[in-house]
Amino acid sequence: MTKSPIGGNRSGRKLGQKVKKGKLKASSRRWLERHINDPYVQRAQLEGYRARAAFKLLEIDEKHKILAGARRIIDLGAAPGSWSQIAAKVTNSTDADPRVAAIDFLEMDPIPGVRFLQMDFLDPEAPDRLKEAIGGTPDLVISDMAAPTTGHRQTDHLRTMHLCEVAAHFAVDVLAEGGHFLAKTFQGGTERELLNMLKQNFRQVIHVKPASSRAESVEMFLLAKGFKGRRATEEGSAEDAATE
């Protein structure tokens, strides 16, 4: 069970620390103060996770049970690797028997049991490389991908939604029947076409915002549970076309 984050007592750091004024800009100083005083950052350091994002996945799983029974997992936008750490643990993945494949265009330090590809997921070769790396059919595809921000909210939303859409189609192409798909999105509306595609292919599609996602963040997660299987969805599409 995921517990609420704890304060500075167990991490050895007190909350409410200030960053001394120096060469840092005021905005940078405020970000740094928020970061070092974030209880989830402190808990991640205490529990050995590479980033506070670990608790977003753990909190979503606590309610929706997407990690239970997962035998193989693909992690999109994996760096710095906290979701891959969890994936390797729940699948009992090892270097000798890797059950987790991860990808990011950023460099990521090795994680035992995780086959990491440093490349852009939008590279045409990426899907086949991931299929080869996972060595079997995944039960879960998770994506924390977000496009580099431009400062223009609508542009950033559209670019990240494009990544979400590509990830969703990839998940439908690779998941085992009954598998799940989780991807970062932004508040502002998921495109209806994407939602319709997911509802056609999965038994349940919802938006979730875990407590560890900062309140001021526009970040949300799109969760599609219970993949119906490619044969079932193909037959459903044929029936829909026949009635048109």
Same domain? 134 vs 61: yes
The answer to whether residue 134 scores a pLDDT higher than 60 is yes
- In this structure, what token pair is assigned to residue 196? 């319709």
* CATH assignment of the domain containing 153: 3.40.50.150
Residues 71 and 173 in one domain: yes
Please give the residue range of the domain that contains residue 29.
8-45
More confidently predicted of 35 and 123: 123
- pLDDT of 7 > 50? The answer is no
The answer to whether residues 102 and 213 belong to one domain is yes
CA quadruple 128, 89, 148, 195: dihedral, nearest 10: 70
Same structural domain, 149 and 200: yes
CB 80 within 8 A of CB 135: no
Task: Please indicate, yes or no, if residue 216 is contained in any of the structural domains.
Answer: yes
Residue 100, SS3 per DSSP:
strand
| Percent of the chain surpassing pLDDT 90 | 58
Residues 116, 220, single domain; the answer is yes
Residue of higher predicted confidence among 211 and 224: 224
**Same domain, yes or no: 40 and 159:** no
Predicted local confidence at residue 236, as pLDDT: 53
Which two tokens mark 241?
């076309």
The catalytic site residues sit at 184
Q: Same domain for 70 and 26?
A: no
Per-residue pLDDT tens over the stretch 151-207: 777 777 788 889 999 999 999 999 999 999 999 987 665 578 899 999 999 999 999
Q: 27 and 86 in one domain? A: no
pLDDT at 101 over 60: yes
> DSSP assignment, residue 217?
-
Collapse the DSSP code of 142 into the 3-class scheme (helix H, G, I; strand E, B; otherwise coil) and give the result: strand
Q: Give pLDDT, residue 38.
A: 61
Q: At residue 21, does pLDDT exceed 70? A: no
pLDDT at 23 over 60: no
How many separate domains does the chain show?
A: 2
- Same domain? For 16 and 93 the reply is no
Residue 190 sits in the same domain as residue 118: yes
Q: What is the pLDDT of residue 91?
A: 97
What is the pTM assigned to this prediction? 0.80
Contact 6, 43 (CB under 8 A): yes
Closest C-alpha to 233, from 203, 200, 205: 200
Both 73 and 30 in one domain: the answer is: no
